[in-house]
């Protein structure tokens, strides 16, 4: 559990032991926790507007944190902050930096020479564009084709680096010399964020639909760092968000019908909701219907319509 120093600063021994530790991600990326403020105990203190090293039993603190997260009382979670040092490919960093609720300071290629590393792709890791999701992937290329693409990737990255270094050697300003570097080039940043917004980030980026590369970083941050830092809040987050199932009002109506054995009634509801619209004799694609289908299957219920 948390301890306090003579100055009253909350410390977390499990996290203290790994401050500065490097968790490798992708081929040359990493995540490090370098500093933090607060802990599970700070969440409890803020919620109770109390001071000192805990005023309730551990099981009561656990119950309070779980209640706060379950009912979306978010302010106490903002009392905790963490600062990470990350190395990440620029294309992945573009997705990362969209989360504007953090303080960020990134490695500058205007002041410094660009990091001489670019993220490579293993021959078996080339993914196909999903036919059902414009921003997602599904399946992979054959290994032979992947090997050819990997070789070409390495050539492209090496050529871009050579041109960049030629520009620097010719005296071109760094801010201009960098303009043709590939998005696979690694960058580094310090990223400071409170626990509430970090959990929001992880909820999106650990999701199975998130891009694989940023999901790899999010998984390390959650499972290796947040789990040590605020274990009670992390378990509650997994229970109520990562591994939970949320039903819409429409889905609840359908489940009520199915629980009463009325499959025809459930199908009629789906038709009323516009989930079963036909076009040219074929069932039109409907994302809400597909999501409801997956939720029902997850509950062990056989949906009365195709996915």
How crowded is residue 135: how many other Cβ atoms within 10 Å of its Cβ?
8
Rounded Cα distance, 68 and 74, in Å: 7
Question: If DSSP codes are grouped into helix, strand and coil, which group holds residue 45?
Answer: helix
The residues annotated with a catalytic role in the active site are: 205
The answer to whether the beta carbons of residues 137 and 130 sit under 8 Å apart is yes
Rounded Cα distance, 125 and 82, in Å: 32
Q: Residue 35 pairs with which residues in a beta bridge?
A: 83
The answer to whether the beta carbons of residues 157 and 184 sit under 8 Å apart is yes
Q: Provide long-range contacts, Cβ within 8 A and 24+ apart, for 173-177.
A: 174/109, 174/110, 174/111, 174/112, 174/113, 175/109, 175/110
Rounded Cα distance, 167 and 183, in Å: 18
- List all residues 6 or more positions away from 55 whose beta carbon is below 8 Å from its beta carbon: 48
- List all residues 6 or more positions away from 285 whose beta carbon is below 8 Å from its beta carbon: 132
Rounded Cα distance, 91 and 217, in Å: 13
- The angle subtended at Cα 152 by Cα 147 and Cα 155, nearest 5°, is 130
Rounded Cα distance, 121 and 137, in Å: 15
Helix (H) / strand (E) containing 188: strand 186-194
């Amino acid at each position: 559990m948390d301890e306090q120093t003579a100055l009253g600063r909350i410390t977390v021994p499990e996290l203290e032991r790994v401050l500065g530790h490097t968790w490798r991600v992708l081929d040359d990326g990493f995540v490090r926790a370098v500093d933090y403020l607060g802990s599970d105990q700070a969440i409890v203190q803020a919620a109770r507007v109390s001071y000192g090293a805990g005023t309730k039993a551990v099981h009561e603190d656990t119950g309070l944190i779980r209640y706060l997260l379950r009912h979306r009382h978010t302010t106490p979670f903002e009392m905790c902050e963490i600062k990470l040092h990350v190395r990440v490919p620029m294309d992945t960093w573009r997705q990362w930096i969209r989360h504007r609720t953090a303080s960020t300071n990134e490695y500058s290629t205007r002041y410094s020479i660009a990091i001489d590393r670019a993220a490579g792709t293993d021959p078996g890791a080339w993914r196909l564009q999903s036919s059902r999701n414009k921003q997602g992937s599904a399946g992979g290329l054959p290994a032979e084709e992947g090997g050819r693409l990997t070789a070409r990737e390495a050539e492209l990255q090496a050529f871009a680096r050579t041109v960049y270094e030629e520009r620097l050697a010719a005296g071109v300003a760094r801010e201009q010399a960098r303009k043709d570097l590939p998005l696979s080039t690694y960058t580094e940043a310090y990223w400071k964020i409170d626990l509430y917004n970090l959990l929001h980030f992880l909820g999106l980026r650990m999701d199975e639909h998130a891009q694989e590369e940023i999901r790899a970083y999010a998984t390390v941050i959650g499972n290796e760092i947040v789990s040590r830092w605020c274990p009670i809040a992390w378990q509650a987050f997994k229970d109520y968000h990562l591994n939970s199932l949320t039903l819409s009002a429409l889905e609840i109506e359908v489940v009520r019908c199915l629980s009463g054995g009325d499959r025809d009634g459930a199908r009629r509801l789906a038709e009323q909701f516009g989930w079963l619209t036909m076009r040219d004799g074929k069932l039109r694609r409907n994302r809400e219907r597909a999501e409801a289908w997956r939720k029902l299957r997850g509950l062990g219920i056989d949906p009365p319509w195709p996915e």
